[in-house]
Amino acid sequence: MEKDGMKHTEFRRPEAQGATQVVRSQQEELLSTRELIRQLLNAVPMPILVINRSWQVVYANIAVIDMLATSGTTAISGLREGEEFHCIHGRDDAGEDAAPSCRICGVARAVAVALKGEGTIRDCRLTCDLAGEAHSLDLRAWATPLAIGEETLSVLVLTDISHEKRRVLLENVYFHDLLNTLTGIRGLLDVLSHSDVTERPKICGSLDRMTLRSIEEIDALRLLTQAEDCTLQVVWADLSTGSLLEEIVATLCCHPSARGKRVILDPEMIDVTFRSDRRLLRRVVENMLLNALEATDSGGIVSLGCWQISGHVNFWVHNDTWMPDEIQLQVFQRSFSTKGRQRGIGTYSIKLLSSHILGSVNFTSSPERGTVFQASFPLKPQL
């Protein structure tokens, strides 16, 4: 009997006891060879690493090399955990005296748990320097202990979950906010249909602002998607720093995050004309201001302005709240947020969009001075 081109006898189990013993001994002999283990691990499409108690890589399959192909890496045996992915914190020693960046890393935590003899699963975001450019890797790490004699190793299996993280972000940030705005518009339309003539101008004004906000949310999503896909086209134009900041303040003063708070535009700020992309620059400064407003308690003050330093325009936003070290280490990572899970795209987009208009972003935060975000752009960019 044949089915799908295969004989039924091909699936028949050996009946003789002697044949079974021969097959078993052949399998044991094969599994005892290192070359077969390498071939099996290399056949797995997911990156697999074996790490010892000194946090050194003693084995990595071909999928790891393929993942790091852009960095020119060909051999990583002996490197410390983190260094193999060119993590920007890879120079930090791991273990009990690890730097703060390693102590909050999901991969490092997973390895540490496995080295203690327990299995675990952790999500992690690594910021890596690949071919001279910073890249964020969203990974899920499975760490399993492997006992060889008296030595315990960690078998680390990684998978890319960036698409999963991206989808969750879009659904829980942009779609959620857009749905709330559209629900508000529908409610105002219902009120408008039952209102008298004197109330209608005010209601129409609210409808106009809410519709504009919906358009801006859609445009923000489009810009971020294009920036991540490297298809964003920068539109250079001459801009005035003063008018831009005044426009942003006037717009966001009516934002829900600004309720019960004061936004102050620095009276000593410079007003200078320079070349940039109006859409991207406005989105960067707006996100800095929104993040400051969300971090400020009711009755608090957020200030902003701009300086000119060494041929650059520096836009800054200040609020009195400070961030602990653990939060500061993750500020610009996608999906990270102090506002809870399924949030966290504002500071990530600030850095991403700034890079497209030749800018840089940094911040300082301390209990004494609060938090200041700065975005710096050249007065005369080299296009």
Interval 352-365: pLDDT, tens: 888 889 899 999 99
User: Is the model's pLDDT at 206 over the cut of 80?
Assistant: yes
**Confidence grade of residue 96 (pLDDT, cut at 50, 70, 90):** very low
More confident residue, 74 or 36: 36
Helix (H) or strand (E) holding 368: none
In which residue are the tokens 């971020």 written? 224
In which residue are the tokens 């400064």 written? 285
- Compute the Cα dihedral for 66, 71, 72, 74 and give only its sign: negative
Residue 354 CA: distances (Å) to CA of 120, 224, 307: 37, 11, 17
User: Is the model's pLDDT at 75 over the cut of 60?
Assistant: no
Task: Please give the pLDDT value at position 10.
Answer: 38
Looking at 2.160.10.10, 3.30.450.20, 2.90.10.10, 3.10.450.50, the CATH number of the domain 2-160 comes to 3.30.450.20
The answer to whether the CB of 278 falls within 8 A of the CB of 240 is no
Q: pLDDT digit string (tens) for 309-352? A: 989 999 999 999 998 877 776 677 655 455 544 344 668 788 88
CATH 3.30.565.10, the chain: domain bounds: 234-378
* Domain 163-232 -> CATH class: mainly alpha
In which residue are the tokens 């852009």 written? 70
Q: Which two tokens stand for residue 367?
A: 């209990």
Closest CA to 84 of 101, 106, 104, 59: 59
Q: Which two tokens stand for residue 181?
A: 């705005």
Q: pLDDT digit string (tens) for 121-159? A: 998 877 666 555 556 678 899 999 988 878 888 999 999
Q: Which homologous superfamily is 234-378 in?
A: Histidine kinase-like ATPase, C-terminal domain (3.30.565.10)
DSSP 21-78: HHHHHHHHHHHT-HHHHHHHHHHSSS-EEEE-TTSBEEEE-HHHHHHTGGGT----TT
What is the distance between the alpha carbons of residues 45 and 63, in angstroms, rounded to a whole number? 6
φ/ψ of residue 160, rounded to 5: -80, 120
In which residue are the tokens 């080295």 written? 115
The answer to whether the CB of 185 falls within 8 A of the CB of 211 is yes
Q: Give the residue ranges of DSSP H helices in the chain.
A: 17-31, 34-43, 62-67, 100-103, 106-115, 162-169, 175-193, 200-228, 241-252, 278-294, 325-328, 346-356
CATH 3.30.450.20, the chain: domain bounds: 2-160
How many CA atoms lie within 13 Å of 171's alpha carbon, on the beta-carbon side? 8
**Confidence grade of residue 164 (pLDDT, cut at 50, 70, 90):** confident
Report the mean per-residue pLDDT for the chain.
78
